[in-house]
Structure 1
Amino acid sequence: MAHFYLLLNHYMFAPTINLKQIRACSPVVMTSASHAEDPRSESGQAHITKMKLPPGIRERKRYVIFKLVSEKDRQFSKEEILRGCLYAIHSFLGDKGMSDANVYLIDWNENFGLGILKTTHKTKDDAVVALSLLSAISETKISVIPLNTTGSIKKAKEIIRSLKSVEKAIRNKTEDKNKTEDKI
């Protein structure tokens, strides 16, 4: 078994592995069902595919829905928001904590300032605190308000849709109110 780990470590960055070496150590999942059908089997080369972890071992995901309010009502791109979120989480949790958090910005709406940040269930609270501590992006003062957390991306997008409709209604009311004040 130790030989298999040495072999795996040796070929970790190699695009292909010799089948004879693999067969001598341990079974590995191949891309084709039968090695005889694989045209690369004549040369003794095959690609290794990733195996999925069972659901009990997999990290559970959490989706943090947040609203970003900027000082100058500036709209930020997804890259700027991702960079800011990663900076805040890295400065709060450090290298190991950020690695454990497995953070990614799933969705960002520039017009409404709403976003969905993916993290693990164990680091959800730390990610929310780190987002709250974010105070500036690209030298523009901002405030990040965590609104909700959920375990499903479908539910997170549904919440975003409902928040957008509420925000649209509020914007329409304020525009109508401004128009009536201008007429008076």
Structure 2
Amino acid sequence: MAHFYLLLNHYMFAPTINLKQIRACSPVVMTSASHAEDPRSESGQAHITKMKLPPGIKERKRYVIFKLVSEKDRQFSKEEILRGCLYAIHSFLGDKGMSDANVYLIDWNENFGLGILKTTHKTKDDAVVALSLLSAISETKISVIPLNTTGSIKKAKEIIRSLKSVEKAIRNKTEDKNKTEDKI
């Protein structure tokens, strides 16, 4: 049976820790390396594992699918979009609201201007409003259109795939129309 120890915050990010160095409490659990299959058991080293939260305490995630339309049809990098989204959410919600929202840009497609933004279920509406208030990135006027919200990343990526196929069909149709007009 493994012995459980609580670590100092100082040691949370260390890859291995000597058991003799442990002094206080932290939310990270360390199991002693007394297992026979562990090659580090002789040296007194241990593994660090994160504690799992019960399902009732865990924050529920929401994925906001959005389309970004720019004035000059400019393509933005993922870093520019993330910076713009974080700026918009920070200016709308403030420091505490932004930390509560726990926002992260999961996916960004430069060619189609489609993205997936992760947030919590309690702050989903605030994040959508903050995104729609975003008006410029890197001095280029833009408009952010929230398209859909879902609770699973799999469903969000499925929606993005279907939107891409529709966008491709529209682009092909307009190209064909332009070619026929040029021939006339």
TM-score by length of 1: 0.84
Deviates further, 47-56 or 112-121: 47-56
Deviates further, 161-170 or 19-28: 19-28
Give distance in 2, aligned partners of 1:7 and 1:110: 43
Question: How far does the alpha carbon of each residue in 1:121-173 deviate from its partner, in whole angstroms, 9 at most, with x for none?
Answer: 01100100000000000110000000000000000001001111111111111
> Where do 5+ consecutive residues of structure 2 fail to align?
none
| Aligned CA distance change for structure 1 residues 25 and 173 (closer, same or farther; 3 Å) | closer
Q: CA deviation at 1:42?
A: 5.2
| Aligned CA distance change for structure 1 residues 146 and 114 (closer, same or farther; 3 Å) | same
Structure number having the greater strand percentage = 2
> Match for residue 53 of structure 1?
53
Query: Percentage identity across aligned positions?
Result: 99
Question: How far does the alpha carbon of each residue in 1:16-51 deviate from its partner, in whole angstroms, 9 at most, with x for none?
Answer: 655357599899743566356656555555343211
| 8 Å Cα contact 1:29-1:51 kept in structure 2 | yes
TM-score by length of 2: 0.84
Question: How far does the alpha carbon of each residue in 1:71-129 deviate from its partner, in whole angstroms, 9 at most, with x for none?
Answer: 00000011111111111111111111111111111111111000000001011001000
Give distance in 2, aligned partners of 1:138 and 1:37: 54
| Aligned CA distance change for structure 1 residues 27 and 105 (closer, same or farther; 3 Å) | closer
| 8 Å Cα contact 1:66-1:144 kept in structure 2 | yes
Structure number having the greater helix percentage = 1
Give distance in 2, aligned partners of 1:37 and 1:183: 75
Q: Over the residues paired in the alignment, what is the CA RMSD in angstroms?
A: 4.0
| Aligned CA distance change for structure 1 residues 164 and 58 (closer, same or farther; 3 Å) | same
Give distance in 1, aligned partners of 2:87 and 2:37: 49
Give distance in 2, aligned partners of 1:136 and 1:63: 22
Q: CA deviation at 1:182?
A: 1.2
Q: CA deviation at 1:8?
A: 3.2
Give distance in 1, aligned partners of 2:36 and 2:2: 29
| 8 Å Cα contact 1:32-1:38 kept in structure 2 | no
| Aligned CA distance change for structure 1 residues 4 and 94 (closer, same or farther; 3 Å) | farther
Paired residues in the alignment total 184
3-state SS in 2 of match to 1:2: coil
| 8 Å Cα contact 2:107-2:116 kept in structure 1 | yes
3-state SS in 2 of match to 1:125: helix
> Where do 5+ consecutive residues of structure 1 fail to align?
none
| 8 Å Cα contact 2:7-2:24 kept in structure 1 | no
| Aligned CA distance change for structure 1 residues 22 and 38 (closer, same or farther; 3 Å) | farther
